[in-house]
Structure 1
């Protein structure tokens, strides 16, 4: 008999244990905070040393002090509330009209071709250019503001919804026809689920545009209430420049908060998209 070979008797080498994936720290928030702090320090030095006159660039410390005081002022908060009301009404109407019109134009080609020239004509007109006309038609109140917001916010929502509807697979459309689905069933079961992420992206884009247009309309039209009209009254009434900067910061913070909230809502509603791409 032949002796067993070494390869037959030696135990198989143990496979190495899989290395645990190391979690990477998300340093973006810290990096962003450092950038803001560095900018604030630079601006403070420029203002305190009179390299830039304080009348043009007030010290950030003074702006922060005025900002804290304004957040405790009921009058100022009423102006901010007026801006948010006009923004919310205009964006809400734009969302309903934009999604509805986008679905109709995307599902009915003949309607799209008939209205294409009108859309291409109206879309490039800036909403701010319509402020004088809006004042003549609607006055200087909240109605004027949310109508301008409606016009400005409509286009990103409509075009994103239209794009999503036109991107539906032709096989899916033919399948709906094969099963003889009605137009309403086709819209609700085929078009709407597919275009919903596109429409929400348009709403996120329009939310920032709507806030910009609201404040701009208040500034240009001199409305009785609103953040823009408050900034205008402080600037023309001999108020301090730091208060103007503080009001501007509030407008910027509102934009950041609105985008963050909509992004959070999008992550919840369309969580299935992340699962598909993962």
Structure 2
């Protein structure tokens, strides 16, 4: 079997797709070969089917994401409960609070930011649309982890840990569980400078979570808002009110 065949070929093709996605613009084949640590001939071999299927496109300056990518994002949205409603809810929350709003999900054992009101690519967005690896220190992460069964939460924390990001980050499991109990009791999650000293956020869970007691297939969703920590004291009552009112729309 050739080096570019089989499961390893699939891994490298996905590595290439990720490398193209992470580029600020089109990426040359030579640059891709360096990023994924494989030969240029292998890169061209793997880019062929990715290009034919529309996942990437070849331009004069290199390879960029193709038309198939937005189709996959829309398809993902169709499979996530309440995603369609977010097209109305997120802008409404943004207008009411004057702060960026985010829609996040716990699905497949991971937490992801699915959509937000932040302009794409402006460089100042604290929560970009991708997998969230600071969930223990964010309001939306707390809202989601509080909603899923303990077994699913344990697997998530075993995989990602609770690394210290600021002096305020909760890093002990017992303390974190106490924090999640508070979230379940109040229906509101907060993070004041826990992921970034300069940023704070609030979040509410949306609807009832899915999944069995063993955490298998656990799914949960949350709506959140981020704002500068220096403004949190004055603005958080209004933000909390807006979020809790928006969550009522998804109550069972």
On whether the aligned pair clears a TM of 0.5, the verdict is: no
Structure with the bigger percentage of strand? 2
**What TM-score range do you get, normalising by the shorter chain?**
under 0.3
